[in-house]
Every structure is written in structure tokens, then in C-alpha cells.
Structure 1
Amino acid sequence: MEVTMDPLFLAWSYFRRRKLQQCSDICTKILQDNPYDQAAWSLKTRALTEMVYIDEVEVDQEGIAEMMLDESSIAQVARPGTSLRLPGTSQGGGPTPAVRPMTQSGRPITGFVRPSTQSGRPGTMEQAIKTPRTASTARPVTSASGRFIRLGTASMLTNPEGPFINLSRLNLAKYSQKPNLSRTLFEYIFHHENDVKNVSVANLKHQKNLLALYCCFNKKLLFHHQALDLAAQATEHAQFKDWWWKVQLGKCYYRLGLYREAEKQFRSALNHQEMVDTYLYLAKVYQRLDQPITALNLFKQGLDHFPGEVTLLTGIARIHEEMNNIPSATEYYKDVLKQDNTHVEAIACIGSNHFYTDQPEIALRFYRRLLQMGVYNCQLYNNLGLCCFYAQQYDMTLSSFERAMTLVANDEEQADVWYNIGHVAVGIGDLTLAYQCFKLALAFNNDHAEAYNNLAVLELRKGRIEQSKAFLQTAASLAPHMYEPHFNLSILSEKVGDLQSSYTAAQKSEDAFPEHVDTQQVLKQLRQHFAVL
């Protein structure tokens, strides 16, 4: 006699094993037989949500629209050390651009790629368009809201016949009074359908007059009178005591750009229940409002309630790193490793810091630790090759780069590997090999500014002045935040007698790196020339 497993139990088993599509299919069959089965409905809702779930704490991409049309800026000229939008000034003895390369926004390149660390906050629309979305694509983020819309349309693939829940016909007032169903429904609407407006109406607890105010002034929140009634009913049912719903309302406000309202909801949720995620969400709000000091104080407040919490320590280290306070960031990353000695981000950032402070042997130990942990990619072998080269372990250098070559995922990574091999060739004096490597780097990535700069220097050594000048101008246009192309172009222009171009390039070099002594000397000499004229 064959014994069959209960379909709902089997679906739940698939859900726990992350076989979400099989779970959804079984729940669909159950609902076809009994459309009013709330357990199957709730489980399918959770399965569909998990398919497209994105951790709101980590993912925070700022699009061009959000950056250029930001209405929340208060102080255009903030005090040094109080803003994430100002280029770092080497606070606390941090490295200069002469030692550690900088991003377009003036921050040092970190040892770990995180969401939105590539984009920063460019000052002009031209820079914003040039800035790639992430490390793996060159397309800029046009708008964060556009990403949510695309996620909503992509979620339709989970059910080709149409949406699982018809939100327009849903009685949200009825579901808001059922705690078990309302939470799964909220997450489905928020993550799967990405309909923030309906989510805000459905579940959360805000005043009628506040909603009416937003209806008048914000087109994103044009709710009907029925929405006000639904919000009032949900408020009466929750009695303002459920911290989870307040966090969800804060997330909705955050997506809609209402950061001060999100702050109020997260603060209220913390008053009801201390949770690590709430601290992280609230810190995101303060970082978007360009208040890093407030975010740091909030993280430290969270550490008082959750001593040694890794995510809070990591948040503090990230803010210090973005403010160019590298020594403090390193100390907090070390605290992270005391709690979790397998934390990849902390190991990578500490290794990167040791590399840029002339300690390649110690950096090599951290990168080898990552290799032992199973991190196996092109970037790691690239870093291993550079550490071996600067630690004078030449037998391991080229083998590391060869391994990196076998693991490249795109042309940009291939270009970086060839550029580093060319850098090694310059170090050992083989300029012919270096020239070929830089050419190969440009063949894979025609926008590689560092390769253009180094090629210009090699061309100048061969006496090809015009070719060298063209390469330097290209490098300066591709990477205006780098001081090297501007400085080299200034020196070259001065040698050929073009003092005006030399002075202009030297000024751009000074803007990119104000503490550069050689640039200051060139400017001083040029001003003396102009004074004599």
C-alpha cells in the first residue's frame, strides 16, 4: 500500500529546503482544489516573495535622479569630517592619493565592493552618467525607483498567466486585521509586486491628517479617501504597539524618499523593541541624509544593547572608511574579526589597508586567509600577485596573475590583470613587456585611464611627444579625479613651451590632490613666469 505525503507538508518541506518553485507549484494545486485554503495561500505568498527577495539593509543604490534632484540637502558647505559628500581630507592620518587611489567622489578605494560604493555622490551630471552602476557593468543607475519597477515586472515570470494576487480587488481592511496573513501579504506586495503605495495604505499606522497632507503635496502618495479609512482601521487595530509594522512603514517611506518620516517610524519602533535590523535601517536613513556622525552615534547606541554585534561594528567601519578615516575603520574591522574570524569584508579591507601602508607581507597573509576560506576569484589572485611582487616573492607573482587570467569574468577584469602585469614589468625594468601589457589592457577596456597614463610616460621616453600628449589628455578626460594625468600633462606642456595649458592642467591636479608638493612647485614656477611676462 502506497503512502502519500500530505501536499501541504511536502510544500512546507520544499520551502525549508529553498526549492521555492516546487513549493509554489504544489500550493497552486492545493488552491485549485480549495481556493479558500489560507495555509496554502500564505505559503505560496511566502515562496513567491523569497524568489525575488532583496535584503533592504545591504542594497542601497542611488540613481542619477536621486543624486541630482536631491531636495534634502541642508548645508552646501559642511564642516570637514561631518559629511559623506565632501572629498576626504586624509582624516586621522589616512593615506593620500599618492599612496592609495581614490574614487571619483574623493574616497579611497576599499578592499571590498559594496552596493553604492562605486557611485558615491558625483558633483555634476556628466560625472554621474560616467559613473558605472556596479563593478560589473558600465551602465549608470538612472533611478532607484526604476529598479523597483523592473523588479515588479520581472516577478511576473513566476506566474506567466498573471499575478497571483489581484491587488486592485483586494480588501486590504479585512487583511489588516489578520496578523498572520497581513504580514505575508505585506512582504509579497513590497518585494514581489513592489507596490509601495498599496503597502503603505494597507498596513500601516499613520494619522489621517498626515496622509491628507501628503496627498496634497506629494504625487507619489495620491491616496483615495478609502485609503484614509483603511489606514484609520489599521491604526485602531494595531494600537500603535506593533514594532514590526512600524519598521515596514519606515521602509515604505524610505523608498518613497520621505526620509524624515522614515526616521520617525524607525525611532518609534526602537522605543517598542530594540532590534539590530531597525538600527541598520535607521542608520541608512541618516547616511542618505548625509549625517554620518549621527549614524555613528546610533551604531554605538546599538552596541550598548547588542555588545559585539558584527553588523553594527561593520557599519561603523564602513562610515569611517567612507570619511577617509582609514585607521579608525581598520580598528573596527579588527573588532569585527574578534567576533567573526571568517568575515570576508573585514579581512579584505584590513589586507587592502596593509598593502597601501607598505606592508605587503602582512596583506599577503590576509589574502591567503581568504583563499583558505574558499574565496576563489580573479580579484583575489590579482591582489595576491601584487602582494607577492611588492614582498619580492617573484616566483609566485606571475603564477598568481596566470591563475587570475583563468578566472576572469569580463573584459574589465582582463584589462586589470594585464595592467598589473605591465606594472610588474615596469618594476623589473622590462619596458617593452610593459608597453605590450598596457596595450593589451586598452584592447580589453578602452576606458582604462591608468593604462593611458602609463602608456603616455613610455611614449615620452621614446620621444613621441604628440602621442604621449594625446594619451594624457585621454586619461585626464576619462578620470578627472586622478591627479597623475593632469600633473604629467602639466610637466609635458611646460617642456614644449605651452605654459597656459601647463597651468590649467596643474590647477586640475591641485584640485584632485591639494597636498601634492610637486604640483605646488610647478604652479609656483608658472606664476613666476607669468609675473615676469
Structure 2
Amino acid sequence: MEVSVSMDPLFLAWSCCRRRQLQRSADICSKILSESPFDQMKSMMMMVMLQAAWSLKTRALTEMVFVDEVEVDQEGIAEMMLDESSIAQVARPGTSLRLLGTSQGGAPTPAIRPMTQSGRPITGFVRPSTLTGRPETMEQAIRTPRTASSARPGTSASGRLVRLGTASMLTHPDGPFINLTRINLAKYAKRPNMAKTLFEYIFHHENDVKNALDLAAVATEHAQFRDWWWKVQLGKCYYRLGLHREAEKQFRSALAQQEFVDSYLYLAKVYQRLDQPITALNVFKQGLDHFPAEVTLLTGIARIHEEMNNVISATEYYKEVLKQDNTHVEAIACIGSNHFYTDQPEIALRFYR
């Protein structure tokens, strides 16, 4: 005699989400919501189950298109040509990431080492900020030759964000899962757990920064400005909108309430976009005081030194990274590349192996 055992649909959806079967998890939640629509006459237990299914589906849809906001985005023509955040047109040597052809390492970079368009040595690891150089004029930017690893000169990370905003049309041909034009943000702001899930859905899946900012502002006010998480989200929205000084205030306010690694990374990201690498280095070092030997903070310091052509200091910090994580691909590649271009191919071969 065969006995069939059926699993609870909500638990099955949760299990699928944990196993990264996101589409299946969203489909199961959709079935739960369609079979038991929200109704005022439902029991309290049923309402809790429907809210859980709604939150889980929102989380699954968000995870499908989630992109880590910590990484510094590549600047396009709009950011390069219309940048109004620069303090000085001609920065002092060693204080700018946009000053071409400088070396701060105490020893000149070997001439045999290939350079990027911005005049910096090839790092051995491709990152968004090292893909292309910074053109001096609009004509130069438009005439920049395209390569297999770079996007069109007229596009940047903003194009990726616009494409992410169309994810709802792909997952829901009949319309978006949540109609943002009719949603009551103040109602959700009173429910912290659902509000945080909804914010990430709006910010990452729908790419609607305005509504995400409104929700974060209302939720921050409802929390009486004591929730550091909402301040970080406000900073992310301000950064996406190009309001870097407002983002800086929010990240610093969040750090004053709660020391968190991501807050330091976001704040340093703001200073890098403002072309203040020395301040960004200080932020990373402040983070190391609270989180000693944190790999992401050490990597951020090494990247800045590398972008400023201080290859010697960058290599030292990458070695510190390897002491904490000996499988860190970026550190291995950058140290190996540095040894290769300083006439030590046998040592570079060890790292690459």
C-alpha cells in the first residue's frame, strides 16, 4: 500500500527559495495567493499565511535580479561630463583617481607593463572602475573604440539599472506583481518586516528609486530615526540619484548608530565617486579599527592604491587579504600580475597555479 505525503505549499516555497529555486518558489507563492485571496473575513492564521506567502514571493523576485550595490559602478558619459561634485579642476598629485599617469609607489612602474586608456597599469583583475578610461571631452568619449569587454561609450551602469527595471514585465506578462501607483506606503511603513522586503523589491526588481526613497523616508520617520538599516537604504537611494552629499550624511548617521561593514563600504564608495581617495582610505581604515582583518575593507584599500598607481602598497594589502582568505581570486591575480611585470615570472606562476 502506497502512502502519499504532501508537503505544505508555503514550506515548500520557502525550501525552494533557500535552495535558490527562485522561479519555482515564486510560482508556488502565486498559486497560494490566487487560491486564497486577501479577504477581511479570513481568520488571523490565514492572513498570516498569506502575508508570509506575499513576503516570500517578493523576496524570490528580488533575488532573481539582485545586484550588490557595494561595488563601485562604472562611470558613463553623463557622469563624466556633467560631474559637478569636483572640488578642484586640477587636483594635487596623489589626491585624485582621475589624474592620469601618476605613480605614488616610490619606484616607477616598469615601462613594459601595458597600460589602460587612463594611463594606469593593467591590474590583472577586471573591475567596473578599470574597464575604460575617463575621456577629456565629449568627442573623445564618443570616438572611443569599443572592445569586447567594454560597453558602448554612451552607456554605463545606468543602462543596466534600466534593464533591471523591466524584470517585472518578463516575470509577469499580465502586469507587475505589485502595483506601485496604488500602494499605500505609509501602511507598509508601520510593518517593519514587510516594509523592508517591499523596499528591496522596489529598489532592485522594479528599479523605482523615487518610490523606494519615499518608502524609506516614511519608514525612517515611523522608526523615529533610530533604525540604522533605513538610513543605509536612504543613502543608497540618494547615491543612485546622484545626491552624493545627502548619501554621505545618511551613511555617517547610520554608522553613528550601528557599526556595520557595508556602511563603511557604501561611505567609501561615495567618496570614490566624489574623487576623494584619501578620505575613502581613511573610512576603510576606520572600519578596520572596528572590524580588524576584514577582507572587504582590505580589498577596498588595495584597489584605491592600485588605481592611484601605488602598486607596491596595493600588493602589500593584497598579501594581507590572502592571509585572511587564501582563495581570494582578485588578490591572487593582482599579486601574480605584479610579479610578472617586475621580471619575476616564476613567482607569478606560483600564484596563478
2:215 counterpart residue number:
202
Residue 116 of structure 1: CA displacement?
2.4
Query: How many aligned positions are there?
Result: 340
Q: Is 1:122 aligned to 2:135, yes or no?
A: yes
AA in 2 matched with 1:35: P
Distance (Å, rounded) in 1 between the aligned partners of 2:296 and 2:143: 32
Describe the SS at the equivalent of 1:170: coil
1:13 counterpart residue number:
15
2:182 counterpart residue number:
169
Residue 99 of structure 1: CA displacement?
2.5
Which of 18, 22, 25 is the equivalent residue of 1:23? 25
Distance (Å, rounded) in 1 between the aligned partners of 2:189 and 2:7: 33
The answer (yes or no) to whether the contact 1:152–1:193 under 8 Å persists in 2 is: yes
1:3 counterpart residue number:
5
Distance (Å, rounded) in 1 between the aligned partners of 2:114 and 2:153: 21
Residue 87 of structure 1: CA displacement?
1.1
Measured at CA, do residues 271 and 133 of structure 1 come closer, stay the same or move farther in structure 2, by a change above 3 Å? farther
Which of structures 1 and 2 has the larger relative contact order (alpha carbons within 8 angstroms, sep 6+)?
2
Which of 209, 218, 222 is the equivalent residue of 1:237? 222
Distance (Å, rounded) in 2 between the aligned partners of 1:358 and 1:291: 33
Describe the SS at the equivalent of 1:120: coil
AA in 2 matched with 1:345: E
Which of 239, 243, 256 is the equivalent residue of 1:254? 239
Distance (Å, rounded) in 2 between the aligned partners of 1:281 and 1:30: 38
Distance (Å, rounded) in 2 between the aligned partners of 1:305 and 1:274: 8
The answer (yes or no) to whether the contact 1:152–1:192 under 8 Å persists in 2 is: yes
Runs in 1 of length 4+ with deviation above 6 angstroms?
Answer: none
Describe the SS at the equivalent of 1:110: coil
How large is the RMSD of aligned CA atoms in angstroms? Answer: 1.6
2:109 counterpart residue number:
96
The answer (yes or no) to whether the contact 1:63–1:144 under 8 Å persists in 2 is: yes
Which of 280, 288, 307 is the equivalent residue of 1:295? 280
Q: TM-score, normalization: structure 2?
A: 0.93
How do 1:490-505 residues align onto structure 2 when only pairs under 5 Å count?
none
Residue 38 of structure 1: CA displacement?
0.5
The answer (yes or no) to whether the contact 1:94–1:326 under 8 Å persists in 2 is: no
Distance (Å, rounded) in 2 between the aligned partners of 1:28 and 1:133: 43
AA in 1 matched with 2:159: G
Which of 41, 61, 80 is the equivalent residue of 2:74? 61
Greater helix fraction, Structure 1 or Structure 2: 1
Residue 124 of structure 1: CA displacement?
2.0
Describe the SS at the equivalent of 2:178: coil
How do 1:49-198 residues align onto structure 2 when only pairs under 5 Å count?
49-58=62-71, 60-96=73-109, 98-131=111-144, 136-198=149-211
The answer (yes or no) to whether the contact 1:119–1:132 under 8 Å persists in 2 is: no
Residue 235 of structure 1: CA displacement?
4.3
The answer (yes or no) to whether the contact 2:298–2:320 under 8 Å persists in 1 is: yes
2:298 counterpart residue number:
313
Measured at CA, do residues 126 and 102 of structure 1 come closer, stay the same or move farther in structure 2, by a change above 3 Å? farther
Measured at CA, do residues 48 and 338 of structure 1 come closer, stay the same or move farther in structure 2, by a change above 3 Å? same
The answer (yes or no) to whether the contact 1:317–1:330 under 8 Å persists in 2 is: yes
Q: Is 1:364 aligned to 2:349, yes or no?
A: yes
Distance (Å, rounded) in 2 between the aligned partners of 1:236 and 1:56: 24
Distance (Å, rounded) in 2 between the aligned partners of 1:132 and 1:305: 44
Unaligned runs of 5+ in 1: 205-230, 369-533
AA in 1 matched with 2:340: F
Q: Deviations over 1:320-373 (max 9, x none)?
A: 0000000000000000000000000000000000011111111111111xxxxx
Residue 52 of structure 1: CA displacement?
0.5
Residue 62 of structure 1: CA displacement?
1.2
Measured at CA, do residues 126 and 273 of structure 1 come closer, stay the same or move farther in structure 2, by a change above 3 Å? same
Describe the SS at the equivalent of 1:185: helix
The answer (yes or no) to whether the contact 2:168–2:175 under 8 Å persists in 1 is: no
Describe the SS at the equivalent of 1:73: coil
1:273 counterpart residue number:
258
Q: TM-score, normalization: structure 1?
A: 0.62
Measured at CA, do residues 152 and 17 of structure 1 come closer, stay the same or move farther in structure 2, by a change above 3 Å? same
Measured at CA, do residues 103 and 128 of structure 1 come closer, stay the same or move farther in structure 2, by a change above 3 Å? same
Moved more, 332-341 or 56-65: 56-65
Unaligned runs of 5+ in 2: 39-49
The answer (yes or no) to whether the contact 1:250–1:266 under 8 Å persists in 2 is: yes
The answer (yes or no) to whether the contact 2:10–2:53 under 8 Å persists in 1 is: yes
Choose 1 or 2 for highest CA Rg.
Answer: 1
Measured at CA, do residues 345 and 132 of structure 1 come closer, stay the same or move farther in structure 2, by a change above 3 Å? farther
Identity %: 84
Measured at CA, do residues 322 and 137 of structure 1 come closer, stay the same or move farther in structure 2, by a change above 3 Å? closer
Q: Deviations over 1:107-147 (max 9, x none)?
A: 11111001121123222223323457885245225244333
Describe the SS at the equivalent of 2:129: coil
The answer (yes or no) to whether the contact 1:280–1:312 under 8 Å persists in 2 is: yes
Measured at CA, do residues 53 and 263 of structure 1 come closer, stay the same or move farther in structure 2, by a change above 3 Å? same
